[in-house]
Chains A and B, each alone.
Chain A
Amino acid sequence: MKLNELNLTQALTLLDKKEITSAELTEDCLKKIEMAEPKIHALVTIAGENAMEQAKAVDKKRAAGKKIGRLAGIPGIIKDGICTRDVRSTASSKMLYNYVPVYDAHVIEKLKAEDYVLVAKANMDEFAMGSSTENSHFGVTRNPWDMERVPGGSSGGSAAAVAADETIFALGSDTGGSVRQPAGFCGVVGVKPTYGTVSRYGLMAFASSLDQIGPLTKTVEDSAFLMNVISGRDERDSTSAIMRYPDYEKDMRKDIKGMKVGVPKEYMEQEMSNDVRRVFEDSVKLFKDMGATVETTSLPTFDYALSAYYIISSAEVSSNLARFDGIRYGYRTKEYADLKEMYKKTRSEGFGDEVKRRIMLGNYVLSSGYYDAYYLKALKVRTLIKNDFEEQFKKFDILLSPVTPTPAFKIGEKSTPMEMYVSDLFTVPVNIAGMSAISVPAGLSADGLPLGIQVITNAFWENTMFRAAYNFEQSAGFAAKPAL
C-alpha cells in the first residue's frame, strides 16, 4: 500500500512508531498528485517544495524528541476559500487569482500549531457558490470515480483529493451542503459542524449565518479527531460559540443500542434515483440491526428550506462580495475612464456568472420594497424550520436521510440554476436549522458510483452524531476505492 492511501489514524500510528517518516508520507502524496491531477484537476495551488520542507522539519523535531503536535507531519489539503498565509488563496475566482493573504485563517493556525503539512489548495466552486465545482475560474474538477462526472461542490476539490488519496485529510466549507454533498459523491466522510463551533475567521465569506468549515476524511474517526483540532472559541469571530467544547471522540466507539433514529418522510417522498433509495433502505436496516430504534417522522417545513436558503444566502453574499472592488487587493480591470467604470468592469470581469447571478438576486431581495416579502419572510420561515428540527430532537437522537437525490451527475448536465439548486435539497435544511450533520459512504450505485447517508443531529450533539456514524461505518464496511 502506498503511504498516501493511509487514513489519518493509521498514518499517525505509523509515524509515532517511527515506521514511516513524514517526508515519505508527503512524498507519496505529491507523487499521487502528480499522477492524478492531469485527470481530476482537484487543486489550484500545489505547495510541493514547501510541503517537503515542512515534512522534513517535522521529522527532525520528532527524531530529536522535541514536542510535536497532534497532526505532526500529516499532509493536508485546504479548500482555496480558506486563507493560508503567504500561500495564494483564490476562492477559485479570477477576482483573487493573485491574492496572497498576510494572515492565516484560525483553523490554519490550529493545524499549524499541530505541525500539519500543507500540500495544496483545493479547487472549489467560485466563492463557494455551486454544487459541482464546475464554477471555478481554474477549470472543472472531475470525480475520481468517473471522470465524466462532477465531484460535487462547492468543496469538490477537497473531496476529490481525499477520494483520490492525494492527501490524508482535507478541509472544506459547508453553507448548504458543500462538504456533505461532495463527500457523498466522492465516497468520503464529510462533516458540517454546528454553526459556531469552528471559527470563520479567515474563511472567505459566502453566507455569514450559514458557513462552517468542516473536515473531509477517509474515516469517521479521522473527522472526529480533526474536529478536536479545528474547533474552539476564537475571539476574532463574534459568532464563535462561547461554551465548553467537548472531546468529539468521546464515546464514539460505544454501541448504539437503543439509539432513537428518525427518518423524515418528506425526504423519502422526494424524487430520487432507485440506487439512492436502495442504499438508504439498506442503511436503515443496518441501524436496526445494530439495536437502534428507527421510526418514520415528519418535518413539515422541509420543502421550504431550499427557498429560504437561496434568499438568505444570496442576500448575505451580495453584501459580503461588495468589498471586491479592485482597490485593496485582487483583480483590477486594465482599462477604465473613471471610478465607476473601474468598479463595474473589475467586478463583471472578475466574477463568474453564478456569482453575479446570486449577487444580483441578493440585492433584489434586500432592496426596499422587497425586503419584507423576501428576506424578512425567509428569516421567519427559518425559525419555523429550526423549530421543526428541534421538535424532532425531543424524540430522536439522530435523523437519517440520503445525502443527495442521485449519485454524482455528469459534467454539464445541470443546465439551469434551479436544476443545480435542487441537488442541495437534502443538505440545505441542516444549515438553515443550525443543526449538525455528517455524510458517510454507504454503498455503490449500479454504475459503481458512491452513495452516502446523512446523519443529522441537534446543534452541539456531535458526540451522538459521531457515535452513530462510526458504528454505521463499521457495520457498512464500505471499502471501495476509485480506480484512478
Chain B
Amino acid sequence: MKYEKVIGLEVHAELSTETKIFCSCKNEFGSDQNTNVCPVCLSMPGMLPVLNRKVVEYGVRAGIALGCDIPNFSKMDRKNYTYPDLSKSYQISQFEFPLCKRGCVEIDVDGQTRKIGITRIHIEEDAGKLLHQSGYSRVDYNRGGVPLIEIVTEPDLRSAEEVKVFLESIKANLEFIGVSDCKMQEGSLRCDVNISVRPESQKEFGTRAELKNLNSFSAIFRAIDYESNRQIDVLESGEKVMQETRRWDDTQGKSYPMRDKEEAHDYRYFPDPDLVPIYLEDNEIQDIRDSMPELPAAKKQRYIGEFSLSDYDASILTNSKFTAEYFEQCVLQYPNPKAVCNYIMVDLLKMLNESGMEASQIPVPAGDLCGLLKLLEDGVVNSSVGKQVFEEMFKTGKPPEQIVEEKGLKQIDDTDAIHELVLRIIRDNPKPAADYRSGNAKAMTFFVGQVMKATNGKANPKTVNELVKKELDG
C-alpha cells in the first residue's frame, strides 16, 4: 500500500524590532543572562503590558507578503499554562481574532508549482530560556517578551522537500520585508511540524502528530522521514496513530511522546483585559501595502523578464534579500546581468558556502565585483586569473585593481613575447609535437597548458591558442 504524507507547519519567527513586544527591554540575541529584563517581562506584581506599535506593523507586513487578508479588527488573548520560562504563567497571544488570515505561498518543487495555504498569522510573545544543569535548571528571561509571529499553514505540504522550499520562501519573504532575520541557528526561525499519513487513495486525513524541537532544516528532513515511517508502521500493524505531541531527538534520530499525561493542556484562552483591541483602518492597511518592497516572487519574475535570467538563476538570486540586493547593486554599475549573475552564482556563493558565511555577510563590495568584471571585459586579466583575483578579493577585501597590481597578474598580450614562448616550448617538446602532427588534435592542449604555466596563467588564452595552432600546423 502506498502512503502519502500530509504536512502542516507552525512556524515561529522572531521579529527584529528594537524592543520587546510589551515592554521597552532591548530585543537582542546573545546578551548576558537576565540583562535585557525589567519588572514587566519578569512579571512582577502590578506590572502591565503595552503593545509595541512596530510589532503590529511588522505582523501586517508579514501577512501581506504571504498573501493574507488583513482584517480591520484583531485582539490579544491570554494562553494560560505553567512552565518556568513563562514568567506570567500565561502567554499573551492571539486566539480568536489573529492579525492576518487566509494567505497563500507558491512554491516550485521539481518543476511543479504548488499553492500552500496560510491559515493565519498572529503576534505573540516569546518565553525565556531554560538551561538544564544537573539536578536543577537556570532560567534566563532575556528572550521572554521577544515579539514573534506564528504562521500556521494549511495541511497542504506533501513532502520534506516541499517543506524545505516552503520554509526557504518564508525566510526570503520575511527577510525581504525586513521584519525578521530568520536564523534557525539563533532560534529566530522555528518550526513545528504536524504530520499524518494516509493511503494514497484516501480522502480523509489520518490522525496527526505534532513534532517539536526541530532545530535545523536537516533535522526537519530526518524527522519527517522517521515520523511518516513510524506512523505507517503503526497503521500497518493494525493500530491507531495517537494524536499527540512528540519531541524530536536529532542525535537519536527518533521522536518521543512529549506531553505530560496528567494535564492535557487546557489553555483557557480569554481576551487579555490589560490590553485593548487593534483596529486597522482600510487606508492604514493600504498604506502598508503600498510601502512594501518588491517581494521575492515578483522580483524573480522581473529578473527573468527584464534580465533574461533562467528560472533557476532567478530563483537562487531571489532566495535571499542580500543576494538580490547585491545583484541589483552590481547590475546598476555594470549593466551585464548575465555576467554578474554568473559570477555571483558560481564564484561568490561557492566562496560563501566554503567559508560558512551567509549572504548577509558578503565581504566583497558590489563596486569591486563590478571592477573585476570590467577588468575581465577589457582583457586586463583572463578568466582563470580573474577567479584567483576574486578569491583574493573575498579573503582580503582588497579591490581587484590593487590585487592585480600587487601580484602582477595582468594578462600578457604581447603577441611577440607569446610567439617566442610558443616556439620555445614546441622546440623543447618534440614528442607531443610529433603526436599532434600525426593527427592527435588533443595534443595541442598540452602546449597551451605549458604556455599558460610558463606565464603563470597570465597569457591571453585566445592568442596562445591561435599561435600554438599556427606553429604546430605551420
Contacts and interface: CB of A to CB of B under 8 A. Distances in A.
20 contacts: A89-B45, A91-B45, A101-B44, A102-B39, A200-B48, A202-B46, A205-B46, A209-B273, A235-B50, A238-B48, A238-B275, A319-B78, A319-B270, A327-B139, A328-B43, A329-B44, A366-B80, A367-B266, A371-B269, A371-B270
Contacts of B137: 339
A101 B269 CA distance: 29
The 7 closest A-B pairs by CB, nearest first: A322-B89, A366-B268, A208-B273, A209-B273, A204-B45, A202-B46, A323-B43
A349 interface: no
A323 B49 CA distance: 14
Contact of B45 (A101, A239, A316, A327): A101
Given A238-B274, A366-B270, A371-B270, A322 B80 contact: yes
A238 B47 CA distance: 11
A343 interface: yes
A81 to B, nearest CB: 8
A316 B87 contact: no
Interface string B7-26: 00000000000000000000
A99 interface: yes
B50 A375 contact: no
Interface string B60-92: 000000000000000000101010100111100
Interface in A410-439: none
A323 B89 contact: yes
Contacts of B269: 371
A111 interface: no
B12 to A, nearest CB: 22
A205 B49 CA distance: 13
Q: Is the interface of A mostly helix, strand, loop or mixed?
A: loop
Q: Which of B47, B51, B90, B268 has the most CB of A within 10 A?
A: B268
Nearest to B270: A366
Contacts of A440: none
B109 interface: no
A325 interface: yes
B276 interface: yes
A315 interface: yes
B46 A238 contact: no
B298 to A, nearest CB: 37
A323 B268 CA distance: 15
Nearest to A362: B268
B472 interface: no
Contact of B49 (A83, A238, A315): A238
A468 B283 CA distance: 46
Contacts, number: 96
A245 interface: no
Contacts of B184: none
B42 interface: yes
Contacts of A319: 78, 80, 89-90, 268, 270
Contacts of A368: 266, 268
Contacts of A236: 48, 50
B121 to A, nearest CB: 22
Given A105-B46, A363-B268, A368-B266, 12 more contacts: A99-B45, A101-B44, A201-B47, A239-B274, A239-B276, A315-B270, A322-B89, A323-B88, A325-B82, A328-B42, A339-B84, A366-B270
Interface string A360-397: 00010011100100010000000000000000000000
A322 B84 contact: no
Contact of A343 (B42, B80, B82, B270): B82
Interface residues of A, number: 41
Contact of A83 (B45, B273, B275): B45
Contacts of A459: none
A33 interface: no
Given A238-B48, A319-B268, A325 B89 contact: yes
Interface in A323-339: 323, 325, 327-329, 339
Contacts of A103: 39, 44, 46
Q: Which of B48, B49, B80 has the most CB of A within 10 A?
A: B48
Interface in A91-108: 91, 96, 99, 101-103, 105
B270 to A, nearest CB: 6
B48 A96 contact: no
A363 to B, nearest CB: 7
Q: Which of B39, B46, B87, B276 has the most CB of A within 10 A?
A: B46
B427 to A, nearest CB: 86
Given A101-B45, A102-B39, A339-B84, A238 B270 contact: no
Given A319-B268, A363-B268, A366-B268, A205 B51 contact: no
Contacts of A339: 84, 137
A218 B118 CA distance: 61
A40 interface: no
B44 A328 contact: yes
Interface string B89-101: 1100000000000
Contacts of A322: 80, 82, 88-90
Contact of A237 (B39, B43, B48, B80): B48
A207 B48 CA distance: 13
Q: Which of A101, A323, A366, A371 has the most CB of B within 10 A?
A: A323
A413 B48 CA distance: 37
A322 B81 CA distance: 9
Contacts of B139: 327
A325 B44 CA distance: 11
